[in-house]
Amino acid sequence: MKIALLTQHFAPDFEGGTEAVVRAQARELMARGHEVFVISGTDVPHSGEDVWEEQADGVPVSFLPRLPDEYMDLALDRPRVQGLIARLVGDSDLVHVHHWATLTGSLVRQFAGSRPVAVTLHDYFVACPRYFRLPPAFIEQCPERGVFDTCVTCVKDAVPRVLPEHIHKGFVLRDQANQAELDAADAVIVPSHSHGRGIRGYLDIADENLFCVPHGIDQALARLDVPRWNGEGRLRLLILGHRSGVKGVHDVAAAVGQLTPEDRARVEVLLLGDEVEDGFDASLLELAGEGAHLHFRGNYTTASIAERVGESEVPHVGLFPSRAYESYGLVPDEMGAMGLPVWISDRGAPKERVGAAGAILPAADPTAWARALAQVLADPSILEAQRQAVPGNPRTARDAVLELEDIYESLFSARPRA
């Protein structure tokens, strides 16, 4: 099968969670004999070349830089980009759309009818231009479906020269276009049931077209010898990934800062990943307070994650305090695959998977996280029960691809290529 994967970014240009998932699935599809290629947007400015070619893990990638007048708008109407994509997709048997943001807003409708088209919704972009649907502080809550007055207020600072009535019209057109995209898709795939429910609060997806395929980890990770913590020495906490406000890392730092000085001295926080907001790490040190032990250990790759985590003393528990309504959350799976119990926030999909092998704590509530830390410091058996519950066989990208293949085949059976 010749499969075109369309996404907003891709390695080696840029890779976040969505891109890591797409790359892992592309690699697994190729390993199973499919011909796979990626068409990706990019934030690199157009410099006279409409398309540049790269490879990532042997997967061919065509990057499409945008012209100065093709940057983000609500409707994502980019005819030039649409024409380039049509040429690159060519005679592929199936198109799988993973994101629209840096490409154009009619990717599904462009190919529907000529071949099966699948869509994976990795975030809330189809329902909100803020990918995680997290409004700024001056917005108390998101409006009901189809009501956009609050949305105009939410984004107006980003487009100060656009009249509010024009912004409102843009939201209406965006909503209509995204609904038309989902209506035209032969399959709409979500990585978690909670994400499917969240999206359906704002857009319609027919039951027969909706599939849940959890991502799983990119590849098998070395299982670490996670020690039992008996109260002696420091309790070692691990945080992986980008450090920013939306990921809630500052809530953990603030929680450490709320501990008594004696308890604070008994906690050590290991942070692997990049600071993605200027000055953020300095704010973490300030929030954690005097005597806190925060160690910034640099970035990592999926292939090196277990090795990097094991370079120093192995942590006792992983933390994922995200404030975002995560559609899946790969980091908890990576931590669990290494044998760590995981504490997660109560937002989004990770809470579907933690079970007894960790804890679910309120997002954006440092006091609750401080209380949980204090309880384990007083009674280490709480954490030991969580460690014992960590499963031994984590789900992988290969498992996801086997399910994707079944979906692809069902689409050909139900709707043969024209």
Q: What are phi and psi of 39, to 5 degrees?
A: -115, 120
Task: With beta carbons less than 8 A apart as the criterion, state whether 38 and 63 touch.
Answer: no
Question: Do 2-216+396-414 and 235-388 share a fold?
Answer: yes
3-state class (DSSP) for residue 56: strand
Q: Kindly state the DSSP code that residue 15 receives in the 8-state scheme.
A: -
**Each residue's pLDDT tens digit, 364-391:** 999 999 999 999 999 999 999 999 999 9
Percent of the chain at pLDDT exceeding 70 = 99
* pLDDT tens string 212-221: 999 999 877 8
- Residue 418 binned pLDDT confidence (cut-offs 50, 70, 90): very low
Distance CA(273)–CA(308), nearest Å, equals 11
Question: Chain centroid to CA 57: how far?
Answer: 20
DSSP 361-391: E-TT-HHHHHHHHHHHHH-THHHHHHHHT--
Mean pLDDT, the chain, as a whole number?
94
What confidence tens digit (pLDDT) does each residue in 329-371 have? 999 999 999 999 999 999 989 999 999 999 999 999 999 999 9
Q: Edge-to-edge strand order for the sheet containing 94-97?
A: 52-56, 59-64, 35-41, 2-7, 94-97, 117-120, 187-190, 210-212
pTM beyond cutoff 0.85: yes
According to CATH, the superfamily of the domain at 2-216+396-414 is Glycogen Phosphorylase B; (3.40.50.2000)
Where do the domains of the chain lie?
2-216+396-414, 235-388
Domain at 235-388: CATH code: 3.40.50.2000
Q: Peptide bond preceding 12: is omega within 30 degrees of 0, i.e. cis?
A: yes
pLDDT at position 310 is: 87
Q: What is the pLDDT of residues 22-46, one digit of tens each?
A: 999 999 999 999 999 999 999 999 9
d(CA 24, CA 328): 15
